[in-house]
Amino acid sequence: MTDNKDFLFDFYELTQANGFMAEGIDETIAWFDVYFRPAKELGGFFIAAGIESVCDYINSLHFTQEDLAFLQKLGLSESFIEYLRTFRFSCDIWAVPEGTPVFANEPVVKIRGPVIQAQMLETIMLLSLNHQTLAATKANRIVRSAQGREVIDFGLRRAHGPDAAAYAAKASYIAGSVATSNVAAAQLYDIPAFSSMSHTWVQLFDSEKQAFAAFARQYPDNCVLLIDTYDVIDSGLPNAIEVFNEVLVPMGKRPKGVQIDSGDLAYLSKKIRRILNEAGFPDCNIYASNSLDEFIIRDMLQNGARVDGFLVGERILTAAPAPVMGGVFKLTAIEKDNEIIPKIKVSENVSKISTPCPKLLWRLFDNETGKAIADLLTLEDEDISSCQQYELFDPDYVWKRKTVSGFVARQLLVPYYKNGQDIHKKKSPAHIRAYCTEQIDSLWEEVVRFEYPHNYYVDLSQKLWNCKQKLIDDYYNGKR
């Protein structure tokens, strides 16, 4: 196996690149978009994440002698092998900053560069953005369902490998979770680490109370006791309270919390809260775990659950019941003789027809409320930043039109690479997290609700729509 951990390509990307070179079209300047198809199980919007991992990949991309020898065995040409030996990235990339809420069918990344290079980014783009956007989107749904209560990522042991666990922990954090049990992710991304205890700790001691007392002595400032090894109400909670009084209080400490991982969590949490309050520990948090997701948490709270924090594992890491994001990487234009030639993918499945041309992505915000009105795709030569009013129309049902005014239009795609040089300023996960919260607050409640969210419009400018329609008409009229 190659020592180059960043050697991540679908083989066809390399065979195509090799073929482009053989055909003499490898330096053709091409434009690509990355966007997500709709995913009803994830609601009306997604949280963009993963572009930083793409940047890390690009910045370290190289081909070792071992890599080149392996590719040579696969039948790639000597000229292409030599090209990779002296490879230097030279594309331009624009992307939506991590933590931005985005919608289906709008570009979250735009790439311009020699086609031999640009199309080689397809796998790493989709690998990173699909997985991390999925985790961030699911985590944010869970965070919103918790209504201000803590959500902690606890999914390391259920993840699909070490890298997936770390990236998902970061995505979960920028989407609103407050901590992670994943020590590697805590170190890599400066995320607060969270620890409680396991049933093993309790079972290793002669009694539950001895186990609790030992843990409290070892971790008086971070004492979270798991109270459902035997019986929550008749054993676990009484023993915990005795240990709080006998070990922590004499030390001048207060318990951080108790955790329940089984049983009727809503019912138990209400009884636990009442008993803790009566025992003089109203500040002791109650943590719940056990295959939680946004719907279970919402139902628990609707039933009056008194939970202060939710430890969520596989439902963030695997995003059940929607374990895959439908991100795609599509050619939108090429440049020839100083002219941009739009490209389109036409399909009998109308939802898979791509939108051609290099584009700008605008978000229109209402001046009075600060809320997002709609997103708009325009051609690159269309500047709507100073427009006083603008006519929006549904790109599928074009007779549905609305003129909006009193808005500010902001471009969402920002430069990340120029001529292959990384020009973006890397933000900390904490900064991205704050930005994500702010951006979600700009969406109407009807847009972010879990079931049947309001249809947030991603519209096309008239010029862009005309270009797309002409290409479709030309195809069906046999002019392709």
pLDDT digits (tens, 9 = 90+) for 5-43: 657 889 999 999 999 999 999 999 999 999 999 988 888
Residue 74 half-sphere exposure, CB side, CA atoms within 13 Å?
14
Which residue's entry shows tokens 């796998």? 123
**150/195 same-domain check:** yes
**191/312 same-domain check:** yes
Confidence of residue 54 (pLDDT cuts 50, 70, 90): very high
The answer as to whether 69 is a domain residue is yes
Q: Which of 300, 317, 334 is the last residue of a domain?
A: 317
**129/142 same-domain check:** no
CB distance 144 to 294 below 8 Å: yes
**128/223 same-domain check:** no
**244/287 same-domain check:** yes
pLDDT value at 2 more than 70: no
Stretch 164-169: mean pLDDT: 92
The answer as to whether 210 is a domain residue is yes
CB distance 360 to 459 below 8 Å: no
Partners of 34 in the beta sheet? 109, 329
CATH of the domain at 242: 3.20.20.70
Stretch 153-170: mean pLDDT: 88
Strands (E), 273-358: 285-289, 309-312, 327-336, 339-342
The answer as to whether 411 is a domain residue is yes
Burial bucket for residue 146 (CB in 10 Å: 0-12, 13-18, 19+): buried
**96/179 same-domain check:** no
The answer as to whether 327 is a domain residue is yes
* Confidence at residue 278, expressed as pLDDT on a 0 to 100 scale: 97
Confidence of residue 396 (pLDDT cuts 50, 70, 90): confident
Q: What percent of the chain has pLDDT over 90?
A: 85
pLDDT value at 350 more than 50: yes
**240/264 same-domain check:** yes
* Confidence at residue 1, expressed as pLDDT on a 0 to 100 scale: 34
The answer as to whether 410 is a domain residue is yes
**220/75 same-domain check:** no
Range of the domain at 30: 11-135+323-476
Rounded CA gap, 134 and 316, in Å? 9
Q: Which of 265, 300, 317 is the last residue of a domain?
A: 317
**103/195 same-domain check:** no
Q: Which of 317, 350, 379 is the last residue of a domain?
A: 317
pLDDT value at 319 more than 90: no
Confidence of residue 480 (pLDDT cuts 50, 70, 90): low
Short-list 84, 45, 55, 142, CA closest to 455: 45
Rounded CA gap, 112 and 92, in Å? 5
Domain count along the chain: 2
Please state whether the peptide bond connecting residue 356 to the residue before it is cis, i.e. omega within 30 degrees of 0: no
**127/175 same-domain check:** no
Short-list 334, 327, 328, CA closest to 113: 334
The answer as to whether 81 is a domain residue is yes
Helices 162-174 and 122-145, packing angle to 10 deg: 50
- Cα-based distances in Å from 385 to 102, 177, 253, 377, 415: 20, 34, 56, 13, 18
**182/122 same-domain check:** no
**30/104 same-domain check:** yes
pLDDT digits (tens, 9 = 90+) for 226-271: 999 999 999 999 999 999 999 999 999 999 999 999 999 999 999 9
